[in-house]
Amino acid sequence: MLTYTIRRVLIMVPTLLVISALVFIIIQLPPGDFLETQMAELQAQGEGGNAEKLEFLRKQYGLDRPMIEQYAIWLGVWPGETGFAGLLQGNLGYSFEFNEPVAKIVGEAMWLTIVVSVATIIFTWVVSFPIGIYSATHQYSAGDYTLTLVGFLGLATPNFLLALVLLYLSNVYLGISIGGLMDQQYMDQPFSWGKAWSVLAHLWVPVIVIGTSGTAGMIRRLRANLLDELQKQYVTTARAKGLHPRKLLWKYPLRMALNPFISDIGSLLPEVISGAVIVSVVLSLPTTGPVLLRALQTQDQYLAGSFLMLLALLTVIGMFISDLALAALDPRIRLTGGTQR
């Protein structure tokens, strides 16, 4: 396992470096920068904004340096105006759009995003696990067909569309607005039990909207994996030897069929902070998703870059954790695999 861990860690390093370079390049690709855009907007409104000021700000934020130097400073492997002050030093940069440190902007929306995401993950697992097992053990029954239909509907319906439909139905038929994640009076207020209760009362809508497609996908994968395992020789042998069906199911095939749940850990961590961007915009959720979208739209390079880098880091760490768990739980060679001798 040490060899495996070492090799996986060594793969993570170049992966993160390539991702960070790509993120930085992509954010720099559009012509001009945030300051130029802002200056043009001010000039269009007939307000000040001169070349000297632009040059001063560009120098202050290091935007006048070569791109490779900006990248190295951003990473924290090259000293800037104030020495080493990049991602490695925990400095996510400064948001031009919000005029605040990136860490502060992201931090405010982070805990709400985590609440929504964790609730969604629990919903997905709790719902998909029993349904997936039922569908596989009762293949081609009326229940299986019904759940399969519901699953396909869930897979085929875009989350934002489901959000819009729910918003419309609740407005028209129930006369309530289900947008947002808490009552108006708790917005921008410090934590209180009333605020926590309000969040919990609003939570079910985004959880269902964001979790539906994931649940449907998980049901399909668990069903397919379990069916595959149930048809193997060792299951037939165990049945022939008289092992109780439930014990047989729990002890062997189900464990093997759990691989998709473990693999999903890899994508769970980034989801925790990405906060389903479009759904968050549609449902007016105060999560990190809309902040990222706004940063990308306005070319707020440090906010967008740091955010995307955080997502990439969590993806890579998530994949690492799920790979370690899979290697520990199911160290079998696959039919397509080969050994290096």
Partner 1 sequence: MSRHGYPPRVLALDYVRATTGLILTVGPIMLAEPLEIIQYILGGVAVLFAAFGLRTLLRHVTRVEVGESGIRTEGPFPRTVAWRDMTEVDLRYYSTRRDRERGWMQLRIDAGAVRLAFDSTISNFAQLAESVLAAAERRGLALGAATLSNRATLQGRQPS
Report the interface residues with partner 1, using CB under 8 A: 1-11, 13, 76-77, 83-84, 88-90, 232-234, 252, 323, 327, 330-341
| Angle, vertex CA 118, rays to CA 116 and CA 120, nearest 5 | 65
| In the complex, minimum distance from the CB of residue 302 to partner 1, in angstroms, rounded to a whole number | 17
Nearer to partner 1, 134 or 252 (CB): 252
Phi, psi (degrees; rounded to nearest 5) at 149: -60, -45
Nearer to partner 1, 63 or 92 (CB): 92
Nearer to partner 1, 10 or 126 (CB): 10
Nearer to partner 1, 68 or 122 (CB): 68
Q: What is the DSSP letter of 54?
A: H
Residue 12, exposed/middle/buried by CB under 10 A (0-12, 13-18, 19+)? middle
Q: Could you tell me the CA-to-CA distances from 24 to 48, 67, 214, 330 in Å, in that order?
A: 30, 9, 30, 37
Q: If phi over 0 gives left and psi between -120 and 50 gives alpha, with beta otherwise, what is residue 299?
A: left
| In the complex, minimum distance from the CB of residue 322 to partner 1, in angstroms, rounded to a whole number | 12
Token pair for residue 9?
A: 């860690």
Nearer to partner 1, 89 or 171 (CB): 89
What is the C-alpha separation between 188 and 181, in angstroms, rounded?
A: 12
What is the C-alpha separation between 75 and 90, in angstroms, rounded?
A: 10
Q: Which residues contact 139 (CB under 8 A, 6 or more apart)?
A: 227
Nearer to partner 1, 72 or 208 (CB): 72
